[in-house]
Amino acid sequence: MFSLCDKILSKNILKPNRKLFSNYSFTCFEEIQLVPEPEWTKGLNHKNPFLSHAYLSVLHNEKTEHFRFRYVIIYNRKNPIGVVYFQINDFPASVFGELIEKQITELKSRRASVFQRYIEKNESYTVMRLVTCGNNFISGEHGFSININSKKTTFKLVEGVIDSISRAEKLRGKISAVLVKDFYEEGFGDKNCWYCTKFVDFNVEPNMIVDLPNGLTNLTDYLACFSKKYRNRAKHILNASAPLTKKRLTKEEISFYKSTLHGLYSQVFNQAKFKLVKLSSHYFEDVLTSSPESFYVDAWFLEDKMLSFACGFCLENEVEAHYIGFDYTYNKQYELYQTILYSFIEQAIKVEKSRINLGRTASEIKTTVGAKPHELLCYIKPQNTVSKLIMKPFMQFLQPTEWIPRNPFKEG
């Protein structure tokens, strides 16, 4: 009926220049060190910093027995014209125990009962394999980049690669699924494309984005755009955090505070709705080494004690909020979280960027600092009947929670 996911052993997928259709072919790599960087860079065409060889090399350091990667270069007559990126996660049964409990109660089927007993006996073992086209560490469209003008051909190429990868990883007989994330509806979130291949769409928490007005020189200018109520609220937040000292960390300081940073990050990670993969303690140092011109880490101290930190990327047109961490015992007293949100806005004004991508989660709070939601779609394809049993509550679990949007700006 179902079986544990085996270790990934198939090597057919690693044969070079595997044919797709027409003059298109692809080559897949397991290790980033084996990916020819000039060809990857040419295929990417500098379109997405989170698909760059340098950044993916950092992520590759996060590889574990149960979390690994696939890198695909697409060619047209041996000329690199695109890249596709996959993350492969193996989950223990315990992750799904609570998710499917209600579903099993409703179904009362023999299949569900057997699966329930299986989970109870094997909760620490791998039971499901999720192959993600995209990046589970970052919100947004970071799964592929194809340098051709035809949306139809682009989709056909990505579809062909996804199908080949799923077959190579032997998903058909396993409790498993293919996830493609995250899309804005106006782009490759086009449902007409994905429905053709039996993918099911579902919404996830929206990306929260702040668009800055023109002519701002500092955070005070930005807050002047707020209504009196929200301007006073912002002042209260900034006054609460006034006793703290904010510092931009050097590489040496990131290394020195490695354990502290990871501890603060872990406090936030442990509050997450769905815990996918936890970063290693050397992640922030590795990212700064790979992207010294764009990546930064700020920290807030109460005397010598670090209470919070925030890191981000200063990209071509926007600031991308990355990971944060803070001590929950001090959060309310010093308004740590909301101070971090304003720090991203302040950073964007300082480096003259017009947009701040604050990412998902805490949508309502982010609207109080001026962020607006941009809906995201994911597409998932269960590989068999038992996978479908898991997928329904899994997708329901990831559905956005209800929240009330706020408008801090002056009317009219």
Q: DSSP letters of 197-209?
A: TT-EEEEEEEEEE
What the block records as the tokens of 267 is 């406090």
pLDDT of 105 reads 55
pLDDT tier for residue 400 given thresholds of 50, 70 and 90: confident
**Domains, the chain:** 12-206+375-398 (3.40.630.30), 213-353 (3.40.630.30)
Q: pTM, whole model, 2 decimals?
A: 0.88
Tell whether the torsion through CA atoms of 210, 211, 213 and 215 is positive or negative. Answer: positive
Strand partners, 129: 90, 176
CA distances from 223 to 192, 345, 359 (A): 42, 10, 21
pLDDT per position as a tens digit, 6-63: 444 445 667 788 999 999 999 999 999 999 999 999 999 887 999 999 999 999 999 9
pLDDT of 204 reads 86
pLDDT at 171 over 80: no
pLDDT of 4 reads 44
pLDDT at 169 over 80: no
pLDDT of 2 reads 39
In a 3-state reduction of DSSP, which class is residue 84? Answer: strand
The dihedral region occupied by 315, where left means phi > 0, alpha psi between -120 and 50, and beta the remainder, is: beta
Measured CA angle at 174 (ends 171, 180), to 5 deg: 45
36-50, 56-70, 95-109, 235-249: segment of lowest average pLDDT: 95-109
